[in-house]
Amino acid sequence: MENFSQIESDILSKIKNINDRKSYESIKTEIFGKKGIITELFKKIGSLDQSQRKDFASKLNSLKTKATELLENKLENFDQSEINKKLKNEKIDVTLPGRTYFTGKIHPVSQVIDEVTSIFSEIGFSVEEGPDVENEYYNFSALNTPENHPARDMHDTFYLSNSKDLLLRTHTSPVQIRTMLKSKPPFKIIAPGRTYRHDSDQTHSPMFHQLEGLHIDKNINMGHLKGCLYYFVKKFFEVEKVKIRFRPSHFPFTEPSAEVDIGYKIQDGKIKIGEGDKWLEILGCGMVHPQVLKNVKVNPKQYQGYAFGVGIDRLAMLKYGINDLRAFFESDIRWLEFYGFDPLDVPTNYRGLSR
Ligand code: DAH
């Protein structure tokens, strides 16, 4: 018969020496594993004399209970000390200042597109889009700008092919043609978008933005054009009274054509729209040329209307006091942080109209 008390003290001292999870696992297997000390002792019971059996079994059972208990205690201690260690290391200092997080800003150009879209949609205009890469027909010919017409030079076009057929659109006016070709009158649309010209200085960038407007119906006249532009300028600049001047001009796709100036003055170094006796040009417009209507199979005897084109970047510069256009496209995050709009706190009532 084994020396039971020797075995018992061996087991207990092994358990006592456990000092980490790894040694815990290996000692546990050594004692209770398939070939563990206690497991083996249990197997022996059957081979013992009847007289020894009972006594041995009860000692063995209490040793098993004791060893199990001690092992469990060890495990609990590990858990506890790990928790304590974590608490010590990961102490949160609630007096530290909160972490700031950065939110994106809405670019002034996107903001202005949202605003003008909202303003025109209130009076029944819907939004159309066209491609940035256009062909010569939509950008010039269909708009009554024949080959060798000076407007083609004026526009400083970026051609994409030697045949001069593919180009970057020089204005948003081709959207007029695309819109009228794909459905039937009446038309009442605006088309905001990117436009391109070979030009770069403080107020010109090779890529810029325009907003096109087109309204064609029976009996539309210049009075409607004026009414629409007054409404727009008042809403956009958020002024009650505004002075507008129509100056005769020339565009191949309108007849008559006009350029529109708005009255302003400089007060405390800032521009004030609607007051004063200075004039600022903001857009080109006119009554759509009968030839343009013929080009898109609309009968000019039955239908007529007006069109206009506004520089969006210029609108943004005027309304938000930005004086260098080039900064719009330099992707300087500090500039955007300063001039951009908080998506949750846009200045006027145009919130929620996202593109
Ligand atoms: N497309 C012209 C430009 O880029 C602007 C313009 C003038 C558009 C008169 C129009 C218009 O629709 O009627 O200079």
179 close to ligand 1 (CB < 6 Angstrom): no
Answer yes or no: is the C-beta of 252 below 6 A from any ligand 1 atom. no
Per-residue confidence (pLDDT) for residue 348, from 0 to 100: 56
Distance of alpha carbon 18 from alpha carbon 116, whole angstroms: 76
Quote the pLDDT of residue 271. 83
The beta strand positions in the chain, using DSSP E, are 126-127, 133-135, 166-168, 187-196, 207-217, 244-251, 254-267, 270-273, 278-288, 304-311
C-alpha 233: how far from its chain's center? 28
Residues 6 or more apart in contact with residue 270 via CB below 8 angstroms:
321
Q: What is the pLDDT of residues 116-165, one digit of tens each?
A: 999 999 999 999 999 999 999 999 999 999 888 776 766 689 999 887 88
- The pLDDT of residue 272 is 85
Residue nearest to atom 2 of ligand 1 (CA): 309
The pair phi, psi for residue 64, each rounded to 5°, is -60, -50
pLDDT at 155: 67
Pairing of strands 133-135, 254-267: unpaired
Highest mean pLDDT among 21-30, 130-139, 313-322: 130-139
User: Which of 42, 40, 81 lies closest to 61, judged by CA?
Assistant: 42
**pLDDT average, residue stretch 89-115:** 89
How many angstroms is it from 309 CA to the middle of ligand 1? 4
pLDDT of residue 147: 84
Least confident of 50-64, 221-235, 276-290: 50-64
Query: What number of other Cβ atoms are within 10 A of residue 288's Cβ?
Result: 27
For ligand 1, atom 4, which residue shows the shortest CA distance? 171
Q: What is the pLDDT of residue 355?
A: 36
- Quickly state the pLDDT bin for 346 (edges 50, 70, 90): low
